[in-house]
Amino acid sequence: MKRTRDDMEIVWQTPANPPDRHDYILRDGIRYVRPYYFEFISHVKNRWANKTIVDLFTEEFKGRPRDYYVSAVKAGRIQVDGRMVPISYVVQPSQKISHFLHRHEPPVMAWDIEILHKEAEVLTVSKPASVPVHPCGQYRKNTVVGILQAEHGLAPLFPIHRLDRLVSGLLILARSASRADLFRQQIESGMVQKQYIARVDGVFPEDEQVVDANVNYNAREGMSTVEVGDDYINGNASAKGKSACTKFTRINTNGSHSIVLCEPITGRTHQIRVHLQCTGHPIANDMLYLSKSVTKRSSEGLGADRAAAKSNLSVDQSSHQNHKDEADNVSEEDFRIDPMCTNCPNLAPKGYDGHEEGLWLHCIKYTGPDWVYECPYPDWAFLG
């Protein structure tokens, strides 16, 4: 729908608006999304009830100042049940709240998404690190699904498994809901084997190692932990968290790093990463699980990996900032500046500069009852 405010024609987008090739700006090896207007919808939770609309947003959505929320309510960019309301309006449970926002997506690295196999009902690609698989959080267009639709016209796509944003490698996408259901049934019934490779710190043991240790994921801080005793290798799992088991086999080593085959039996959040940490050989560039002390994401307003990278930043700060400023500040030729937006004129939201190194963790193979899909090794897997 279109609305005119302050002589600006605004086109509000919804999830029904497909990504387009022209939505992206590629600059200095980074893929940005042109900011766009989007309706975020939520429903009033019981604990939000009886708060004013401005207090609710100020207390629950801390990324913007109170003055912005006052202006947004007055301008009709925040509405209740499809209606403009005064700033003193008191919300009630289950009411629909719409926030019409000038959305700035976080950038990702501009690596190509290589199509490996294209069949009538299945598509496999080599997912680059830093790109999320599907819309989540602040990402919508800067996703594997979004980019494949924009650049190759491939839709609909149904990812049948997930790779963390910083993980690269084989991604299997069904091209029909029925085929996706079949894949998921096979995965849930334990009929599918998964293989990854990782580049880890130190000389990994030559014999196969099995870590059977519960994984406890802290969603608030975005990281997992395990609690195990001295006999964690082939030993009993901790009583906390969810049961998890991973087999590790060393492929080769150069004395400083080792390439390890990782075969997760279960599929817990950050399972391979935290189980490798458990062996004393974490992924060699995994700041989140290498560090003894990591900046808490809750105090930084960032994802856990970004907070960890920030607290362990080793590049020259001044040159990094100068490069960031050059990449972020853009002219009105790139997109229309919104006078109410708290991110304009930068392309990226605050705290997201896009310069990320992918994890040295790569999915190489999925094997099912009557199918096998594979992905080539990345460059970092070949030790010099």
Residues acting as catalytic residues: 164
**Is it true that the peptide bond before 369 is cis, omega within 30 degrees of 0?**
no
30-66 core/surface letters (b: 16 or more CB in 10 A; e: else):
bbbbbbbbbbeeeebeeebeebbbbbbbbeeeeeeee
* 301 Rama class: left (phi>0) / alpha (psi -120 to 50) / beta: left
* Parallel, antiparallel or unpaired: strands 8-13 and 36-43: parallel
Interacting residues of 163 by C-beta distance below 8 A, sequence separation 6+: 127, 133, 169, 171, 363
Separation of alpha carbons 214 and 327, rounded Å: 42
From the CB of residue 321, how many other CB atoms can be counted at a distance below 10 Å?
11
- Round to whole Å and give the CA distance between 100 and 266: 40
Question: How far apart are alpha carbons 67 and 54 in whole angstroms?
Answer: 9
Q: Which of 29, 203, 55 is nearest to 111 (CA)?
A: 29
In what side-by-side order are the strands of the sheet with 108-109?
Answer: 24-27, 30-33, 108-109
Report how far Cα 14 is from the mean position of its chain's Cα atoms: 20
Strands 122-127 and 245-253: unpaired
382 vs 214: CA distance, rounded Å: 31
